[in-house]
Amino acid sequence: MHLTEEQIHSYLDGLLEEPARRVAEAHLTACADCRRRADELQALFTALGTLPDLPLRRDLTPVLLAKLHPKQSKIESRPALAWSRSLAAQWGLVTGFALWLGMQLAAILELPAVPLPSIPLPVLRLPALPLDILPEQFPMPQIPVPQLPTLDFQTPSFFFLLSSSHLTLLLTLTALLWVMGNAALLRHRPAASSCEVPEGGACRRIQK
Amino acid sequence: MSSPHERGLALRAAAGDQEAFAEIVRAHQRAVFNVAYRLLGNVRDAEDAAQDAFLRAWQFFDQFDADRPLAPWLKQITVNVCLNRLQANPPASSLDDDLLPLKDPQPGPEAQTVNRLRDERIRRAILSLPPRYRAVIELRHFQGLRYEEIVRALNRPLSDVKSDLFRARKLLTAWLKDVEG
């Protein structure tokens, strides 16, 4: 009866305890077939054990140092960042709720819509060189403009009064929430899984 | 047990000292690169994986027990990084001709040439194995881990580890016997 594969491997790995080790040793002395299998494995162990390390083509240190982030600032910045994000989210929720409540109250009390501040247009008007300075030399052609049809537009009314200022506020609020939602979704996550770094044990890495 | 110098470096690196970390990289980069190369079989991938492994180490240095030696920790991170890479991008071919640039362009005496060819055959034989077999060969034969340590490192049952190790050895023996004719 020959030694099993596991017995030979365990013997060569030094895992067999007495008396199993002595039994295997005696068998290997007597059985040429098992000795040949053990010798082949032992030759492989020697070949693997004497395989020299290859030289590095380049020093990895400069590239690595360029990729490092200062650990101190990384550790300190995290709680502050989390706190500010949380504050921003709370502020956004409170503001949103206040606006919604205000709109509801305005609708119930039938308050007039808040007029938007008028912006004096001349301030925004930029000088138009050909028109302002050289109108005489280059008279602009007069193009007859056809009369446009008048549109009958009525402010849509839902279950509450939606005035232009309400609409503006609603859009602003939506934009604000969108930005904050994105900020929450794109929050910092560590690039590496701590699982790759052995602490007590490592994670399973590979599927059979 | 780490040397006092290495312990000091590890503690400084854990506190965010880049100079200490650079010294650690310089001391261990060749070993880490070789672990990655044996698992990936490609110089460029091995360099990338070695860098990744060092960056992971930097990121989690505060979890490292400075009383323990650094090399096994760094090598195990490298194995995990490489296995993740192999899992994400399984090798199209087992053998990679990227071995060629690493050959010594100046052939030495005959004995050296024979040894070099033999080494190259062994590397190719390892790369002909499926990734999970490479991993157990790396951990057992190159890093000298015991079975139970491999079980912890790979988070796999002992029976799987043994089975993979025995099969890998059998394949390597057959491959080498076949090549050496």
Domain interval for residue B109:
4-180
Q: Tell me whether residue A105 is in a domain.
A: yes
Q: Say yes or no for a CB contact (<8 Å) between B83 and A194.
A: no
The CATH number that applies at residue B44 is 1.10.1740.10
Mean pLDDT of B94-118: 59
Distance, CA of B120 to CA of B170 (rounded, Å): 19
Residue A152: what residue type?
D
Q: Are the beta carbons of B74 and B57 closer than 8 angstroms? A: yes
How many structural domains compose chain B? Answer: 1
Query: Residue A117: what pLDDT?
Result: 62
Burial of B104 (C-beta count, 10 Å sphere; 0-12/13-18/19+) = exposed
The neighbour count for residue A92, using CB atoms within 10 Å, is: 18
Cβ-based contacts of B43 with chain A (< 8 Å): 57
Q: Is residue A208 assigned to a domain?
A: no
Nearest Cα residue in chain B from A197: B77
- Residue ranges of B 152-181 with Cβ closer than 8 A to chain A: 152-156, 160, 162, 165-166, 169-170, 172-173, 176-177
Say if residues B162 and A6 touch (Cβ distance below 8 Å).
Answer: yes
CA dist., res. B9 & res. B24, Å (int): 7
Instruction: Give ipTM to 2 decimals.
Output: 0.81
Q: Which of B30, B60, B166 sits opposite A56 (nearest CB)?
A: B30
Confidence of residue B111 (pLDDT cuts 50, 70, 90): low
B75-103 burial by CB neighbour count: b if 16+ within 10 A, else e?
A: bbbbbbbbbbbbeeeebeeeebeebeeee
The answer to whether position A95 is within a domain reads yes
Q: What was the pLDDT predicted at B60?
A: 87
Residue of B nearest to A13 (CA): B146
Summarize the confidence of residues B12-32 as an average pLDDT.
90
Domain that holds residue A18: 5-48
Are A88 and A169 within one domain?
yes
Contacts of A36 in chain B (CB under 8 A): none
| Higher per-residue confidence, B46 vs B1 | B46
User: Alpha-carbon distance B63 to A150, whole Å?
Assistant: 73
Sole residue written with tokens 């290997």: A28
**Partner residue opposite A60 with nearest CB, options B51, B80, B147:** B51
Cβ contacts of B19-25, under 8 Å, gap ≥ 24: B21/A65, B21/A68, B21/B58, B21/B61, B22/A61, B22/A64, B22/A65, B24/B70, B25/A60, B25/A61, B25/A64, B25/B54
> Residue B133: pLDDT above 90?
yes
Residue A54 lies in a domain: no
Show which of residues 63-92 on chain B sit within 8 Å of chain A, judged by CB atoms: 63, 73, 76-77, 79-81, 83-84, 86-87
Higher pLDDT among residues B45 and A131, named by residue? B45
pTM greater than 0.80 (yes/no): no
What's the pLDDT at B119?
Answer: 84
Mean pLDDT of B34-45: 91
Contacts of B160 in chain A (CB under 8 A): 208
Q: Which residue of B has its CA nearest to A73?
A: B16
| Residues 6 or more apart in contact with residue A102 via CB below 8 angstroms | none
What pLDDT does A2 receive?
Answer: 84
Choosing among A9, A10, A196, which should be mutated to test the B contact, i.e. which has the most B CBs within 10 A?
A196
| Mean of all residue pLDDT scores within chain B | 84
In terms of CA atoms, which chain A residue is nearest residue B132?
A206
Q: How far apart are CA B56 and CA B19, in angstroms?
A: 17
On whether the CB atoms of residues B13 and B20 are closer than 8 A, the answer is yes
B7, burial (CB in 10 Å: exposed 0-12, middle 13-18, buried 19+): middle
Q: Do A103 and A27 share a domain, yes or no?
A: no
Provide mean pLDDT across the span B48-72. Answer: 89
Which parts of chain B fold into alpha helices (H)?
4-14, 18-40, 43-59, 70-88, 110-127, 131-137, 147-154, 158-180
Residue A96 domain-assigned (yes or no):
yes
Q: Tell whether A128 lies on the interface with B, counting CB pairs under 8 A.
A: no
Q: How far is CA A20 from the centre of its chain?
A: 56
Give the count of Cβ contacts less than 8 A between chain A and B. Answer: 148
> Quick check: A51 and B122 in contact, CB under 8 A?
yes
Contact between residue B113 and residue B80 where contact means Cβ atoms under 8 Å apart? no
Q: Cα distance from B12 to chain A (closest Cα, Å)?
A: 11
Instruction: Tell me if chain B has a CB within 8 Å of the CB of A189.
Output: no
From A85's Cα to the closest Cα of chain B, the distance in A is 23
For residues A34 and A28, is the Cβ–Cβ distance under 8 A?
A: yes
| Residue B87, pLDDT above cutoff 60 | yes
CA distance B33 to B38: 9
* B41 or A117: which leads in pLDDT: B41
Task: Identify the CA nearest to B72 among candidates B23, B2, B177, B122.
Answer: B2
Residues of chain A with pLDDT under 70: 69-85, 111-141, 151-163, 188-208
| Contact call for residues B27 and B3 (beta carbons, < 8 A) | no
Residue A63 inside a domain? The answer is no
B148 touches chain A (CB under 8 A): no
Provide the domain count of chain A.
Answer: 2
Question: Would you say the C-alpha torsion A36, A38, A39, A44 has a positive or negative sign?
Answer: positive
